[in-house]
Structure 1
Amino acid sequence: MLPLVPLVVGWMLVSKSTKPVQKRVNQHQTTAVAEPNLRPQNVTSLISSSLKAVKKFKDETLVPLFDDARSKYIQEISLDEEVLSEEQKAANQHFKFSIILFASTVASAMIYAPLVLLHIPFLLYLAFPFYKEGIRSLVVERRITTMLVDVILGMGALAYAPFKPPILIVGTAGALAMSYINKLVTKTKSGTRRNLTNLLGQQPQTVWVVQGDMEMEIPFEKVRIGDVVVIDAGMMIPVDGRIQKGVGSIDQHKLTGEAQPAEKGVGDAVFAATVVLSGKLYIEVEKTGEETAAAQIGHILNETTDFTSSVQVRGRDIADRAAAPTLALSALSLPWVGPDKALAILFSGVGYNMQILGPLSVLNFLQLLAHQGILIKDGRALEQVRDIDTVVFDKTGTLTLEQPHVGAIHRYNGYSEADILTYAAAAEHRQTHPIAKAIQLSADERQLSLPAIGDAAYEVGYGIKVHLDQKLIRVGSDRFMAMEGVDMPAELETAGKSAHDQGHSLVYVAIDGHLGGVLELRPTIRPEAKRIVETLGRRGIDMYIISGDHERPTRALAEDLGIDRYFAETLPEHKADLIDQLQTEGRSVCFVGDGINDSIALKKANVSVSLRGASTIATDTAQVILMDQTLNQLEELFVISEHFESNMQVNLYTTIVPGVMIIGGAFLGVVGYGAATVLFMGGLGAGVVNAVLPLFRAEEKSKGAARQPVH
């Protein structure tokens, strides 16, 4: 059993370096018991101190580079805890085992070199998946890959090991590198998708339903077709159904893309994932759960081809292209310079390190972007951004803000604009929906003084009624005014139709039995939208607007922003068809959207972007999330993508140059397997420095800015 002691010690030391502080006393005692069996004792001490130094370096230097922003952002936008895929779990376990094997091999070599040979079965076990993949690529795919080179190199090293046991240290180091590559690659991919209910947003735990003459609260999962659920203002509708009683204003832009809230009454259809802005609705349930319209979008989303699944990691492609020439050169050199130099050529790894440096650069640039407020969930999107030549914007919620603004005030019966706005703001002061906020903001901007309203004078029904200054104030839609018997001027019919065609909402304000005025609410264009459009235009990027809204407001927005092309009144599935049409024309498309109705198009696009605070299904589907909830960082995404491309070019040089030197030196008879290892690792070290340098510089710049005195 003595030869297996290094393997056990390696396991103990690695476990010790990764477990919580409070458990270290017992582990130290266990190690102290085992130490007398090792010869000499200073071997264990040397390894232990080395591991402590590595851990200190990781905690003080590497962790700040790879921690913080990105993980924090992912947790913030997730409804569930982080979910690792089975591929990620397997890669993590494989990497841990490779660390133990490498530590044990090094310890064995330091104690007694022949002990290293006992690690061959463990090395074969660790390398088996890679050997299997290499053989499969040759037999099934009929192509020579870097995995096949690894198989031949590994077998050659094992055959050579009885004559030179320490060569296995290089083998275990290679297995460790391959495990690390696999861990990095899986980390740059998107994680497992969450449950469909979470994709659509957090479902309520309970709902109120009508049972006889009473309203009862029951668990949401017990709601059945035919039940009548009660939804108050400010609540999300959790089912598809028809209104049995009541009138309400419903915000359904995230589902349909319509900017203007929809007035719904008895007999009208309503849908899950929409929000009641005002009123109280009694809804007869027609569909629940996965049968709702919102959930059906989720089903289409899951069935849509995932663009990124066919994208291979760039480093593997580069290494694979060099595989066949490397094998040929090694075979050619064998009769001339012998097995040592032939193995050196196999170890040259022209382009091989890109498998490590590529993912490492990706991870560093993902952190760099996260510090800029840009969360990239799928690392493969980073490279695809540089190829984008077309950006397609959703209109409502992306180019426009959710909250509208008061654009005009129409006066009637001698009332002033200030009177009308004061009455409306006073009535809406307890409401939190976007229309109420727009009215309150307009009153604040005009510095109007709002009178206090007592609870007894406040009534919310189909609209809002308050008693103010001995007057009855009514605020609501034209439908509400008709129900209340308020006299409406004939010319308002024309004004109402014009406002609707332009995507504007009208809020009517009545004083006693007469109409005092009408507030015209218009969509608010994002303050940064025009600048972003101009910036992308200077980059030569074509832009489109796709909207489920009406044609006239979509056209007006496009003209205002200087975008020549737009599609209006587009259904969710047709948005994806338009993306597909642009891709068929040879375009590389970035789609920017925020609604449930955008999710299929988001998944179809080459690069998909959403904003933090958008619908859950949009932020889950999109590859890129702009965390400040604006479009401001969209330009920075393109800039950093260009820097990433330059960084990858330098990575390529650091892996090609040492490889060429190894091959040339081997043919000249001056570079053997050992020297090849040194050159290979030197190139890898230079590449690692280059990969982490951009984030390191950004961290130093951030620290420097923090140290600047505030004047």
Structure 2
Amino acid sequence: MIITVGLMFAVYLGVRYTEKRGKEGRRRTMNGKIRQASAHAQQVEERQDETLIIPNQQVEEEIPSEEKLAELIHYKITSLASMGLFALTRLWPPLGVLGLGFYIYSAIPYMRDVEKSLTKDHKINVDVLFFIGDSLTLGSRKYFTAAIGLYLMHWGKHSVALAKNDSKTKLSGLFENLPQKVWVQIGEEEMEIPLTDVKKNHLVIVDSGGVVPVDGTIIEGMASIDQHPLTGEAQPVEKEVGAPVFAHTMVITGRILIRVEKSGDETAAFQIGNALLHATEFKTGVQLKGEKWADMATLPMLAGAAIMLPTMGPVPTIVFINSHIGNRIRVLAPMSTMTHISHALSHGILVKDGRVLENLHKIDTILFDKTGTLTMEEPEVGKVIALASFNETDVLAHAATAEQRQNHPIARAIMKKAQDAGVQPSQHQDSEYRIGYGIIVFRKGIVIRVGSMRFLEEEGIIIPETVLQHQEWAYEQGYTLVLVSMDDQVAGCIVLQPTVRPEVRDVIARLRQQGIKHLAIVSGDHREPTRQLAESLGMDDFFHDVLPQDKADIVTALQGQGRSVGFMGDGINDTIAMKKANASISLRGATTIAMDMAEIVLMDGDLNSLNELLELSEKLRRNLNRALMFTLAPGVINLGGAFIFHFSILTSMMVNLVLGSFAAWNARRVGKLPEPKKKTTQDQIPHVQLTVNPAPAELEVCACNPFAENGTSMLTLRPFFFRVPKILT
């Protein structure tokens, strides 16, 4: 016993001594070269020498994943060779010497881990405990069993590394289909350049079957685009001029010209991939619990083994050591989390922190930011009010004539209402914006003004009393009132109101079924419209006139009542509230990944994904609990084997192997989620208003748009032509 184990230690000490001498020789050589090349003073040379020669300190270089996998495979093969040679010793005993050589060689990385724990970490961990058990097995002359244990150790490490590498490869591989070269339009010519040379404002051409290589906006053409890698949406999306497109999506049919906004590591896809690869860097609660138990059990089990060895013998002692829960939970928990995060992405849900996904099932309260979350960002026309001798069709036609060439939300709402009502806008000769208020257009000697009440008042137009009443009513309801005038007379007004997302009521009903006890709206609007929306949706509470900085106080107050709060907002403006919440979810989709502060982003902008997210969190919770069970079960069985059933060492190893294999299978498994509700074709088509006019060759409009995001824009309108693919006609 002592000779075999002593030989293993002697070989390891020799290897470590040789490595140390080799490193010292390389250091001396490097120091000599630096001193020969240096022209500095002796003081500088001494500083260099002190920096380069650091006694008793070893700096280990990080091994790339490919090299690490190759190393693990190498030692797995040598340990397998040791096991085979020991098995053949019954046929020819001298093979045992060769088998011992392979065993000691394969044990060197194992012993390095033990040395690191004792000398650097100053800790007796599970590696130290298991090494003692393996040394006892080898010293008991159970060579074949010892070789099996060493092989299983290397096999386990390789399997874990392979699983982690596969998971990360699958995640990052979702966004690695970009072409090496792309076609760009420069002037009237098209040329092919490397993707790395593409810059902002370049015009990139993508044909049918091509992958979109950048984030940008379509300025010419139309296409059916598969956005599944980015949003999880199975159906292609029809996109036209003005619509955004994203890298790593594919053009199914059509041809588009894209103005580049982001490329390379600035694209949404890169930000998503980067977030995914860092999502499992944090330990889950189950993992922390298992690691705590493992650390707490190590020293007592070492003391117990010290008592059992002289009283019960080596075999029960080794079986007792094999009952330790080991490092299994350290591996299974992140593997399971990575699997579920990858599954979430395939359903259009980006999870940036695995801990949030694990704990999401604890959420009992959800706060919804109103605008853009429960309601659509685009308003709709609720009512057209005609005054004096005008009728509703006149008012709508005049408003559409003024707004037909604009692209802000209110203009789109007016144009959609006109289209639904069959009202055709007329052509106008000229237009003029007044900053922040409205637009003036001239048609056949008639002046049409569309804008706010303040705008018309500044134009010298008298506002009738009835309009003032409508304005007061609209304010109380949280609506927007747009006035329309013909020459110097108010023709009428248009009431614009927010549109509740069609899926909201069904989502809320399912949230109740999933155990959410308290639902509330947080809004900057005044009381009445917020109350009406909350009551119509069956919310438990509502908060009105809330400033962005005050939303965090609401989250804190609810947490003070013992609630676990989830906040669902736009991901950017609600930063403080999201940081305070137990879980933060954004509905803004793929366009704001880099800026989005939310821990979870619903990539397809569909509230139905919230129910899927909670279901996935519950599945992860159950999976992690099963992982903990599979971690503890072998220990319980082997404890019984040590004291009651008199297991052999090989039997205890097989118990660990079989249950460990089930645990690994469980960690890579995700239960089936309910199928999400499919969007209608209308939902998939972006809101783009296309107007074909017999306009002049070029018309410039200086627009100071009160409804546009940036307020002012210079538009240059030119006629263009494109072919509609047959599949779309």
- TM-score, with structure 1 as normaliser: 0.60
Please state whether the residue corresponding to 1:403 is helix, strand or coil.
coil
Q: 2: CA distance between counterparts of 1:699 and 1:578?
A: 33
SS at match of 2:401: helix
Match of 2:501 among 526, 530, 533: 526
Contact 1:318 1:351 in 2 (8 A): no
Cα distance per residue 1:543-581 (max 9 Å; x no partner)? 122223333332232222222322223333332232122
Counterpart contact for 2:137–2:318, Cα < 8 Å: no
Secondary structure class of the residue paired with 1:544: strand
Deviation at 1:629, TM superposition (A): 0.5
Task: Give 1:623 deviation, angstroms.
Answer: 2.2
- 2:414 corresponds, among 439, 446, 449, to 439
Larger radius of gyration: 2
Tell me the residue number matched to 1:604. Answer: 580
Does the 8 A contact of 1:94 with 1:179 survive in 2?
Answer: no
Match of 1:361 among 327, 332, 336: 336
Post-superposition shift, 1:500? 2.8
Q: CA deviation at 1:648?
A: 3.5
Q: 2:280, 2:338 within 8 Å by CA — same for their partners in 1?
A: no
Match of 1:464 among 434, 439, 455: 439
Superposed, which structure 2 residues align to 1:166-185 within 5 Å? 167=146, 170-171=149-150, 173-174=152-153, 177=156
Name the counterpart of 1:397: 372
Q: Contact conserved, 1:126 with 1:175, CA < 8 A, in 2? A: no
Q: CA deviation at 1:368?
A: 3.1
Aligned to 1:525, the other structure's residue is in SS state coil
The equivalent position to 1:427 in structure 2, one of 402, 406, 409, is 402
Could you tell me how far apart the structure 1 residues matched to 2:349 and 2:62 are?
23
- Which of 535, 545, 557 aligns to 1:559? It is 535
Go from structure 1 to structure 2 and tell me whether the alpha carbon gap of 1:108 and 1:620 turns closer, same or farther (over 3 Å shift).
Answer: farther
| Pairing partner for 2:290 from 306, 318, 324 | 318
Of 101, 105, 109, which residue of structure 2 is paired with 1:122? Answer: 109
Is contact 1:611-1:619 (8 Å) kept? no
> Which amino acid is 1:170 matched to?
G
In the alignment, is residue 102 of structure 1 matched against residue 110 of structure 2?
A: no
Distance 2:675 2:485 in 1: 61
Are the equivalent residues in 1 in contact too, given 2:572–2:595 (CA < 8 A)?
Answer: no
1:688 CA drift (Å): 2.4
| Consecutive unaligned residues in structure 2, runs of 5 or more | 1-10, 16-60, 86-97, 172-199, 201-278, 677-729
Instruction: Describe the SS at the equivalent of 1:475.
Output: strand
The aligned residue for residue 212 of structure 1 is none
- 1:1-400 to structure 2, matched below 5 A, reads 97-107=71-81, 112-113=98-99, 114-126=101-113, 135-136=122-123, 148-158=125-135, 161=138, 167=146, 170-171=149-150, 173-174=152-153, 177=156, 312-321=284-293, 323-324=296-297, 326-327=301-302, 329-350=304-325, 353-400=328-375
Q: Which residue type is aligned with residue 537 of structure 2?
A: L
Structure 1 unmatched runs, 5+: 8-86, 139-147, 192-219, 221-306, 702-711
Q: 1:127 to 1:514 in 2, by over 3 A?
A: farther
After TM superposition, the score normalised by the length of structure 2 is 0.59
Instruction: Map residues 693-708 of structure 1 onto 2, 5 A cutoff.
Output: 693-694=669-670
Q: Distance in 2 between matches of 1:550 and 1:132?
A: 65
Counterpart residue identity of residue 554, structure 1:
T
Deviations 1:462-491 (A, max 9, x none): 332223355222212223223333332234
2:459 counterpart (475, 484, 488): 484
C-alpha contact (below 8 Å) 1:474/1:511 kept by paired residues: yes
Which one-letter code corresponds to 1:118 in the other structure? Y
Q: Which residue of 2 aligns with 1:621?
A: 597
Counterpart residue identity of residue 115, structure 1:
F
Secondary structure class of the residue paired with 1:344 = helix
Deviation per CA, 1:295-321: give whole Å up to 9, x if none: xxxxxxxxxxxx999964413413532
Contact 2:402-2:440 within 8 A present in 1 as well:
yes
More helix by percentage = 1
Separation of aligned partners in 2, 1:121 and 1:688: 26
Q: Does 1:674 align with 2:646?
A: no
Cα distance in 1 for residues equivalent to 2:495 and 2:675: 51
Tell me the distance in 2 between the aligned counterparts of 1:691 and 1:310.
17
Q: Distance in 1 between matches of 2:62 and 2:356?
A: 19
1:502 maps to which residue? 477
Residue type at the aligned position of 2:452 = S
Length, aligned pairs only = 493
Q: Does the aligned pair in 2 maintain the 1:602–1:618 contact within 8 Å? A: no
Per-residue CA deviations over 1:304-349 (Å, capped at 9, x if unaligned) read xxx9999644134135325526546544532343234323322224
2:559 is aligned, of 574, 583, 597, to 583
Contact 1:319–1:350 (CA<8 Å) still a contact in 2? no
Measured in 2, the distance between the counterparts of 1:610 and 1:89 equals 37
Change (3 A) 1:614 1:108: closer
Give the C-alpha shift of residue 584 in structure 1. 2.5
**2:380–2:496 contact (8 Å) kept in structure 1:** yes
For residues 66 and 633 of structure 2, the distance between their equivalents in structure 1, rounded to whole angstroms, comes to 31
Give the distance between the partners of 1:615 and 1:593, measured in 2 at CA.
15
Post-superposition CA distance 1:424-478 (Å, at most 9, x none) = 1232122222111111121222222233x26x43444433222335522221222
Deviation digits for residues 275-294 of structure 1 (CA, Å, limit 9, x no counterpart)? xxxxxxxxxxxxxxxxxxxx
For residues 564 and 661 of structure 1, the distance between their equivalents in structure 2, rounded to whole angstroms, comes to 50
Q: Which residue identity lines up with residue 117 of structure 1 in the other structure? A: I
1:185–1:313 Cα contact (<8 Å) kept: no
CA distance in 1, matches of 2:357, 2:457: 55
